A and B are shown apart, each in its own frame.
Chain A
Amino acid sequence: AQSVTQPDIHITVSEGASLELRCNYSYGATPYLFWYVQSPGQGLQLLLKYFSGDTLVQGIKGFEAEFKRSQSSFNLRKPSVHWSDAAEYFCAVASPQAGTALIFGKGTTLSVSS
């Protein structure tokens, strides 16, 4: 069965510093991979997704993620964090076969200090 692990429950980063949020998945082949962001009191918004091809994918709001098959990882990065990036971030996985829904990790809460 598919599963997603986000090892960090909470991360604090200084404004302007770089960010990396970790995500590891368990799946027999290469799954579809996603990062979503949730602001307080809101639903989830898609940041970026990976299906195949170039292992470095660009998303909205200056975020990028790198797929590493050998490590079963899909880490999210941003070179310079803004205070408005404070939110909860979710990694998700789906099987490329039709008819399966996204499975989410438990999320990482990002705090940004000034």
Chain B
Amino acid sequence: DAGVIQSPRHEVTEMGQEVTLRCKPISGHNSLFWYRQTMMRGLELLIYFNNNVPIDDSGMPEDRFSAKMPNASFSTLKIQPSEPRDSAVYFCASSLAAGGAYGYTFGSGTRLTVV
């Protein structure tokens, strides 16, 4: 298995532009998670899906952030418009279940820089 695949690995964009991050979870995993990592705040859970349905989006910073999971093999995290404070590493992870009993597999992350 190729693991959790995220694209792009790096993204540099100008303030105000739309940014879309992509994630392909491991086949057969029912839960998908988006985390954001910064020096100041560490790893923050943004949103997670169970069977393609958003379960908890309380970590999404504001309306500029949106996430979708149109099918079991693909998810996107969109920021529109982007701001410099959105600069961070965004991780996608997948698991057989949400609670961690089966472990989470993380992608390599997307490093986003908003200038």
Report A's interface with B, CB cutoff 8 A. 32, 34, 41-46, 49, 51, 90, 92, 94-107
Contact = CB atoms under 8 A, between A and B. Distances in A.
B42 A99 contact: no
Interface residues of B, number: 25
A7 B82 CA distance: 33
Given A43-B106, A107-B43, A49 B100 contact: yes
Contacts of A96: 99
Contact of A44 (B41, B99, B106): B106
A102 B42 contact: no
Contacts of B18: none
B89 to A, nearest CB: 9
B4 A32 contact: no
A43 B108 contact: yes
A63 B31 CA distance: 27
B91 A97 contact: no
A101 B98 contact: yes
B25 interface: no
Nearest to B43: A104
B104 A107 contact: no
Nearest to B48: A101
Nearest to B3: A43
Given A43-B108, A49-B100, A49-B103, A99 B91 contact: no
A37 B94 CA distance: 17
B99 to A, nearest CB: 5
Contact of A94 (B56, B93, B99, B107): B99
Contact of A46 (B55, B97, B104, B107): B104
Closest 8 CB pairs of A and B: A43-B106, A106-B42, A104-B43, A94-B100, A44-B106, A46-B103, A101-B48, A94-B99
Nearest to B109: A43
